[in-house]
Amino acid sequence: MRAGEGRKRGRALIVGRFQPFHLGHLELVRKAAAEYDGVVVAVGSAQESHTEQNPFTAGERVEMVTAALRGAGIEAFHVVPIEDVHRHAIWVSHVVSLCPRFDAVLANEPLTTRLFEEAGFKVVRTELWKRKEWSATEVRRRMASGEDWRTLVPESVAAVIGAIKGEERVRSLLQNDKQA
Amino acid sequence: MRAGEGRKRGRALIVGRFQPFHLGHLELVRKAAAEYDGVVVAVGSAQESHTEQNPFTAGERVEMVTAALRGAGIEAFHVVPIEDVHRHAIWVSHVVSLCPRFDAVLANEPLTTRLFEEAGFKVVRTELWKRKEWSATEVRRRMASGEDWRTLVPESVAAVIGAIKGEERVRSLLQNDKQA
Amino acid sequence: MRAGEGRKRGRALIVGRFQPFHLGHLELVRKAAAEYDGVVVAVGSAQESHTEQNPFTAGERVEMVTAALRGAGIEAFHVVPIEDVHRHAIWVSHVVSLCPRFDAVLANEPLTTRLFEEAGFKVVRTELWKRKEWSATEVRRRMASGEDWRTLVPESVAAVIGAIKGEERVRSLLQNDKQA
Amino acid sequence: MRAGEGRKRGRALIVGRFQPFHLGHLELVRKAAAEYDGVVVAVGSAQESHTEQNPFTAGERVEMVTAALRGAGIEAFHVVPIEDVHRHAIWVSHVVSLCPRFDAVLANEPLTTRLFEEAGFKVVRTELWKRKEWSATEVRRRMASGEDWRTLVPESVAAVIGAIKGEERVRSLLQNDKQA
Amino acid sequence: MRAGEGRKRGRALIVGRFQPFHLGHLELVRKAAAEYDGVVVAVGSAQESHTEQNPFTAGERVEMVTAALRGAGIEAFHVVPIEDVHRHAIWVSHVVSLCPRFDAVLANEPLTTRLFEEAGFKVVRTELWKRKEWSATEVRRRMASGEDWRTLVPESVAAVIGAIKGEERVRSLLQNDKQA
Amino acid sequence: MRAGEGRKRGRALIVGRFQPFHLGHLELVRKAAAEYDGVVVAVGSAQESHTEQNPFTAGERVEMVTAALRGAGIEAFHVVPIEDVHRHAIWVSHVVSLCPRFDAVLANEPLTTRLFEEAGFKVVRTELWKRKEWSATEVRRRMASGEDWRTLVPESVAAVIGAIKGEERVRSLLQNDKQA
C-alpha cells in the first residue's frame, strides 16, 4: 500500500456499525489518531436502518461520527459508509474500493481480522470496549426503556440523535418487535 | 428538513462523479462553503472505476476531494460515496439515506434537478464550470495524451493521483479501448 | 399527492403478504373500498415463495386477491406485487414508484406506520384482524395438518389454491422443515 | 398450465413497456379480451423512469393501463409491473412467478417469442401496431415538441398524464439529453 | 431435455453445498456415475464462505470436488458453482442456465425435489448419507475441536484443505461465534 | 498463492466469454496445458445469453468448453462460469472466490491485465488469436448468414451447438435486431 509518509504509521482503518457512535468508539479513534497519520472510519451495514438492532441510517451515523471526531479535535479522518455485500470473500476488496488508502486495520472481531489477514493486510488487535456500558446495545436499551443514555455518547452525537428524533424512533421500533 | 441553525442557510448537497476532482469543482464547493453552514459532497457512480470515463475508485475520489477541501481551508464538509441504483424513482431516497441531513441541493443537470424537485427539495442552480478546461473529460484527455493536466486540479489532488499511479492507469485503459 | 376527486378521500394503500389472502384481509379491503375512491393492494415480499411462511408466489397471490375483490363486488382497485428491497430507508420510495398514486396508508404494523409517517404520508391505523382465526398463519397451519381452512378464506381464493395444488405444496414444504 | 375453463382459450399474456399506453396497445388488449377469458398485462422495465425513453414510473403506467382498460369496458384483466432481470435465461420464470397463470403469450418481438417458446409456452403472433402514429416513441416525440399527442392515447391515459404533469417531465428530460 | 444418448440414462444433476465434500458425497456421485452417462455436480450457496456453516469459498469447493472425482477415477463430470438467488420460483431456471444439460435430478431434500418436480424435471430420490459421520457438519465439528476429520473425506480433499489452511480457518471462525 | 508442485509452473487462468468456444481458444488452452500443471477456464459474462453478441447460456458454454478439452485429450482443467459484477475494483476477488487456486493469468486484454496486475498477480501476455477467422464474432456471423462455421470450432463444440439448436437461435436473435 502506501509507503510511510512521515514519522507516524500511515493511515488506520476502523470498521463498525456505530448504532450509535459512543464514548468507547471515540476512545478507540482518539488513540488511533494519536498513533497514525490519519484514520478511516468505515460505517458498516450502511444499508440497515429502522430496526431494533440498527435504528439509524448510514447518513445519520456518518453525521454522528463526523460531529464526534470534530468535537474531539481530531482532524485527519475520513468517514465512509459501507454497505454489506453478503459475500465474505470479496468484502475486503469492497472496503478497499470505497475507502481512502490505509496501512493498517484496527480490529478485534475474528471474522474481520481473518478476512483482512488473508488479504495480506496488517491487522492490529484493539484492547478497547472494556467498560460494560460502552456498548451500542446498552445505549439502545436505555433509549428504549427511558433511562439515561446521553452520558454514554459524545455530546455532539446526543445532539444529532435529538435533532433526528432518534430516541422516539428506537421506541417505536421496539413496539414493532413486541407486537410481531 | 433541518431548520436554520444560525445566520447561514443550513447544509448544501453537491453531487458529482469527480473523475477527477478539478479546480472547477473546488470553486463550486468553496462558494457553497461560504454561503452554507456545511457542504455534503456526494461522490456519485461510486461503483465505477478502471474505465476510460471513470478511471478512479470511489475511495481514491473520496481521498482526492477530502485532500482538496482541507487544502483549501474548508472545514465543515462531508464526503460520501454513492453507488448508482439504476432506478431514478428511488435515487433521491438512496442519497438521503447515505448522507448527513442537507437543506438545499446545488445542481444544474436537468435530471438531478428534476428528481430532487419532484421529491420536494430546494434546488439552487449553479453557474459554475464556465471555463472550458475545468472539465474532468479534459483532464483525462490530457492524462492520456501526455499533456499537462496538473494545472487543472488542486495540488493535493495531483499528489493523490501521483501516489496511486493514476496517469499510468488512464493510459493503459485507453489502450484497451483502442484495441477492442 | 392527489387532490380530492369527489366526495370520498382519494385512494388508500394496504400492504400485506397475503400468504394466503383470507376473510380478515377481505373485510379490511371492503371497508377501505367503502371509504375511499379506490384501494391499492400491495402484495409484499413478492420474491418469496415455496417456504413454510411464504408458500405462494407473487403471481398466485395477485390472482387470489384479484379474484376475491371481484367476487366481493369491489371495482376500483389495483393489485401490485412488491419485492422487498432490504433497505428500510428507501422502501417507501420503492412502493411509491411501483403503485398508482395513493392518498392514505391503512396500516397498524409499527414499522410500516413509522416509515410512511417519516416520509410525510397520512397513515390511518386499522382495527381489523380481530378474530383469531383470521390469520394467514392459522390458514397455513390448517392446510398442513389437514384441518378445514376453506372457511377462513374467500371461496374464490380456495378455488385458486385448489387449482395450483397449494395445499399439497404447503404440506411438502413442512416435510422439509421437519427433516432439516 | 390451466385447463380450459369454458368455451374461450384461457388467459393471454401481453408484455410491453407502455411508455405510455396508447391506442394501439388498447386495440391489442381489446382483441385479446374478446378471444380469451382474461388478459394479463405485464408492464415491463418496471425499474425505469425519468429518462427520455422511459419517462413514466411503473406505478404511473399501471395506473394508465388500468384506467384505459376500465374505460374500454374490459373487465377480466390483471396489470403487473415486471422489473428487468438482465438475464434472458431466467426471464420467463421471473415473469411467471409474478403474474397470474396464463395459457398463451401474445407477442411479435423475436426475443420475447423465442424465450417463451424455448420454455414451452404457446406463443401467438400479433398483427397489431400497424398504424405509424400508434407508437409510444411518436407520443413522446409529440410531447417533447409541443404537438398534439392526446389523440394517440385513450382519454383516461391523457388524464393520468395530465395529473402527474407528465408532459412537463418529458420536456425537462429532453433538455437533459441535449445538454449532456 | 436430452434424448437418451446410448444405453445409459443421460446426465444426472446433484446439488449440494459440500462444506466440505466428504466420503458420503463421493459415494453418491460414484453411484450416479455408474448409472448415468455423466454427472453435473452443482456447488450451491457459492457466494458463502468464511462462516462456521460455510467455511470454504466456491473456488475451494470446486477444487475439492474435482480432485475427489478424478481421484476416484470418475471421468464424465462437470462441477459448477451456483450462487443463491433468494427466489425459489426462479431457482430451477437459474441452475439450468448455469449447468450443462441434464436429464434427471438426484435429490432427497423436499424443497429441491419439489422445485424441480414443479418445473417438470424427473427427480430420483437418493438413499445415501446413511452413516452418521458422513456429514459435513460432523467434519467441521471435528476440525473445530481438533479431532480426526481426515478419515471422513477423500484424501485429495484433505490435501486441498491442508493447502488452503482450512482447518485453521474453521477454528478462527468458531472463535468469532463464541465471542459475539 | 500455491508453491510450485513439481517441474511445471502451477495452474494458469484463462478468461473468456466463449460465444462460442472456437479453435483459437482451443489452441490457447492446449498451449497452456503443456506449460502448466493445470488450466482454469473462466467462462465470463455468465449471466448473458440469447443476444446477438452472447447467444449461448453459461451452461451451454461450460458444456462446449469441457467437451472440447476432453476431445483434445487435455485432462487437468476446471471450467467455471463467472457472472459479471459490474464493479471492476472487486472483479479479481470475485474471480478468485469462484475458481480453484491459480498461479498465473494468461491474458492480453488491457483491462483484464491491469486488474490482475494491480491485485499482484503474475500476468503472461498471450500471442494467440492470430488467424482472422479464429474469432467468435466470425463464427456467429457465419451462423447468421448460413455460411460454414463448423470448420472454425472443435467437432465436439459443433455437436453441442447442434444438439441445442444453437444455429437456429442465433438466426432468430438476429431477426430481433433487424426488426427493432
The pLDDT-based confidence of B178 (bands split at 50, 70, 90) is very low
Question: What secondary structure does DSSP assign to E34-80, as a single string?
Answer: HHSSEEEEEE-STT--SSSS--S-HHHHHHHHHHHHHHTT--SEEEE
Q: Which of A59 and C131 is assigned the larger pLDDT?
A: A59
Cis peptide before D110 (omega within 30 of 0): no
CB distance B78–A96 less than 8 Å? no
CB distance D88–F51 less than 8 Å? yes
CB distance E97–F57 less than 8 Å? yes
CB distance C87–A47 less than 8 Å? yes
**Separation in Å, CA of C164 to nearest CA in chain D:** 9
CB distance C50–E109 less than 8 Å? no
When CB atoms are compared, the residue of A87, A89, A97 closest to F89 is: A97
Distance CA C46, CA C44 (A): 5
Predicted pLDDT at C9 = 84
Q: Which of A111, A112, A113, A126 to mutate to test the interface with E (most CBs of E within 10 A)?
A: A111
Distance CA E37, CA E12 (A): 8
Q: Which residues of F touch D89 (CB under 8 A)?
A: 49-50, 57
For chain A, give the percent of residues with pLDDT over 90: 83
**Residue B108 half-sphere exposure toward CB, CA atoms < 13 A:** 9
**H helix intervals, chain F:** 23-35, 58-71, 88-98, 110-118, 136-145, 155-163, 166-179
Is C1 inside a domain boundary?
Answer: no
**H helix intervals, B38-165:** 58-71, 88-98, 110-118, 136-145, 155-163
Predicted pLDDT at E5 = 46
pLDDT one-digit tens code per residue, F31-76: 999 999 999 999 999 999 999 999 999 999 999 999 999 999 999 9
Q: Count of domains in chain F?
A: 1
CB distance E173–A115 less than 8 Å? no
Question: Nearest residue on chain A to B95, judged by CA atoms?
Answer: A59
Is D4 inside a domain boundary?
Answer: no
Predicted pLDDT at A71 = 97
CB distance F176–D110 less than 8 Å? yes
Distance CA B161, CA B140 (A): 12
Buried b (16+ CB within 10 A) or exposed e, C1-39: eeeeeeebbbbbbbbbbbbbbbbbbbbbbbbbbeebbbb
Phi, then psi, of D85 in degrees rounded to 5: -105, -10
Is A6 inside a domain boundary?
Answer: no
When CB atoms are compared, the residue of F47, F172, F180 closest to D87 is: F47
Composition of chain B by helix, strand, coil, percent to 5? 45, 10, 40
CB distance C109–A47 less than 8 Å? no
Q: With a cut of 50, which residues of chain E have pLDDT below it? A: 1-6, 177-180
CB distance B47–F111 less than 8 Å? no
pLDDT one-digit tens code per residue, A26-72: 999 999 999 999 999 999 999 999 999 999 999 999 999 999 999 99
pTM (2 d.p.): 0.94
Q: Which residues of E touch C47 (CB under 8 A)?
A: 86-87
Is F5 inside a domain boundary?
Answer: no
What are the Cα distances from residue D93, in Å, to A174, C65, D87, E93? 38, 21, 11, 7
Query: Distance between terminal CA atoms of chain F?
Result: 49
The pLDDT-based confidence of F4 (bands split at 50, 70, 90) is very low
Per-residue pLDDT for C84 more than 70? yes
Question: What secondary structure does DSSP assign to A100-111, as a single string?
Answer: ---SEEE---HH
Predicted pLDDT at A28 = 95
Predicted pLDDT at D56 = 98
CB distance D93–E89 less than 8 Å? yes
Q: Which of B97, B101, B103, B161 to mutate to test the interface with A (most CBs of A within 10 A)?
A: B97
Name the burial class of residue C119, with classes exposed (0-12), middle (13-18) and buried (19+) by CB atoms within 10 angstroms of its CB.
middle
Q: Which residues of C touch A48 (CB under 8 A)?
A: 87-88
The pLDDT-based confidence of C134 (bands split at 50, 70, 90) is confident
Per-residue pLDDT for A4 more than 60? no
CB distance D93–E97 less than 8 Å? no
pLDDT one-digit tens code per residue, B85-140: 999 999 999 999 999 999 999 998 899 999 999 999 999 998 755 567 789 999 99
Question: What secondary structure does DSSP assign to A142-158, as a single string?
Answer: HHHHT---GGGS-HHHH
Sign of CA dihedral F61, F63, F65, F71: negative
B touches E, CB cut-off 8 Å, minimum 3 pairs: no
When CB atoms are compared, the residue of F47, F57, F173 closest to D111 is: F173
Is D2 inside a domain boundary?
Answer: no
Helix (H) or strand (E) run with residue E172 in it: helix E166-179
Average pLDDT, rounded, for chain F: 91
CB distance F96–E46 less than 8 Å? no
Range of the domain at D175: 11-179
Distance CA B51, CA B53 (A): 5
Q: Which residues of D touch C60 (CB under 8 A)?
A: 100-101
pLDDT one-digit tens code per residue, D124-161: 998 755 567 789 999 999 999 999 999 999 999 999 99
Joined grid coordinates for residue B119: 421529491
DSSP 3-state of D131: coil
Sign of CA dihedral B49, A39, B94, B34: negative
Joined grid coordinates for residue F9: 509452473
For chain C, give the percent of residues with pLDDT over 90: 83
* CATH number where B74 lies: 3.40.50.620
Is B156 inside a domain boundary?
Answer: yes
The pLDDT-based confidence of F175 (bands split at 50, 70, 90) is confident
Per the CB < 8 A criterion, the answer to whether C68 and C16 are in contact is no
Joined grid coordinates for residue F38: 493445470
When CB atoms are compared, the residue of D57, D78, D83 closest to C62 is: D78
C interface with E, Cβ–Cβ < 8 A, is 47-51, 57, 169, 172-173, 175-176, 179-180
Q: Which residues of B touch C96 (CB under 8 A)?
A: 89
Q: Which of A45, A47, A83 to mutate to test the interface with C (most CBs of C within 10 A)?
A: A47
Joined grid coordinates for residue A151: 452520558
Question: Nearest residue on chain C to E112, judged by CA atoms?
Answer: C176
Distance CA F76, CA E73 (A): 13
ipTM of the complex: 0.92
CB distance F109–B173 less than 8 Å? no
Is B155 inside a domain boundary?
Answer: yes
Q: Which residues of D touch C46 (CB under 8 A)?
A: 98
When CB atoms are compared, the residue of B88, B89, B114 closest to D172 is: B114
Q: Which residues of F touch D113 (CB under 8 A)?
A: 172
The pLDDT-based confidence of B83 (bands split at 50, 70, 90) is very high
Distance CA C101, CA C98 (A): 9
Q: Which residues of F touch B168 (CB under 8 A)?
A: none
- The answer for residues whose C-beta is within 8 angstroms of residue C11's C-beta and 6 or more apart is C2, C36, C37, C38, C39, C40, C100, C101, C102, C103, C104
Distance CA D14, CA D29 (A): 8
Predicted pLDDT at E26 = 97
Per-residue pLDDT for A153 more than 60? yes
Sign of CA dihedral B65, B66, B71, B73: positive
CB distance D173–B115 less than 8 Å? no
Distance CA B5, CA B10 (A): 6
DSSP 3-state of D47: coil
F interface with E, Cβ–Cβ < 8 A, is 2, 46, 49, 57-60, 62-63, 66, 78-81, 83, 96-101, 163-164
Residue identified by cell 423436499 is E110
**Residue D24 half-sphere exposure toward CB, CA atoms < 13 A:** 19
Buried b (16+ CB within 10 A) or exposed e, D50-76: bebebbbbbbbbbbbbbbbbeeeebee
Predicted pLDDT at F177 = 47
Predicted pLDDT at A9 = 84
Predicted pLDDT at F176 = 53
Residue identified by cell 498471450 is F126
Q: Which of B5 and C172 is assigned the larger pLDDT?
A: C172
When CB atoms are compared, the residue of E87, E89, E97 closest to D89 is: E97
Is C32 inside a domain boundary?
Answer: yes
Predicted pLDDT at C154 = 98
The pLDDT-based confidence of A108 (bands split at 50, 70, 90) is confident
Q: Which residues of B touch D51 (CB under 8 A)?
A: 88
Per-residue pLDDT for B3 more than 50? no
When CB atoms are compared, the residue of D86, D89, D109 closest to F176 is: D109
Predicted pLDDT at C71 = 97
What are the Cα distances from residue C58, in Å, to A39, C74, F35? 47, 21, 53
pLDDT one-digit tens code per residue, B56-68: 999 999 999 999 9
Question: Nearest residue on chain D to E93, judged by CA atoms?
Answer: D90
The pLDDT-based confidence of A132 (bands split at 50, 70, 90) is confident
Strand order in the sheet with A11-16: A77-81, A38-43, A11-16, A104-106, A123-124
Predicted pLDDT at D176 = 53
Per-residue pLDDT for D38 more than 80? yes
Q: Which residues of B touch A59 (CB under 8 A)?
A: 80, 96-101
Per the CB < 8 A criterion, the answer to whether B125 and B107 are in contact is yes
